[in-house]
Amino acid sequence: MGLLIVVATVALVVLVIQRMGRAAQGVAPGASTELALRQPAGSRIAGIATLEGQLAVWVERPDGGRVLLLDPRSLRQTGEVRLGE
């Protein structure tokens, strides 16, 4: 059940990024886009939000939480905020 939630959340992130990127770039529907967050095993997406034209993805990792800042136009990570204790 947990795996299903993670897969669905990742699919939602990809869909949001694709639609934001296509709207900004005028990319035709059906064009291929791919995004890999490249996080270690055991990581999970805890939340997603938009932030000044970027996508903020809260990732819970075994070594602590992080917020990844992604540019929806280029589908690249532009920053990372580590959540410390």
Contact 20, 72 (CB under 8 A): yes
DSSP string, 6-69: HHHHHHHHHHHHHHHHHHHHTPPTT----------TT-EEEEEEEETTEEEEEEEETTEEEEEE
Better pLDDT: 42 or 34: 42
Percentage of the chain lying above the pLDDT 90 cut:
7
Better pLDDT: 53 or 62: 62
pLDDT of residue 18: 73
Instruction: Say what the pTM is.
Output: 0.57
Question: Would residue 58 be called left, alpha or beta, if left means φ above 0 and alpha means ψ between -120 and 50 degrees?
Answer: beta
- Rounded to an integer, the average pLDDT of 63-69 is 90
pLDDT of residue 29: 57
pLDDT of residue 30: 56
pLDDT of residue 6: 75
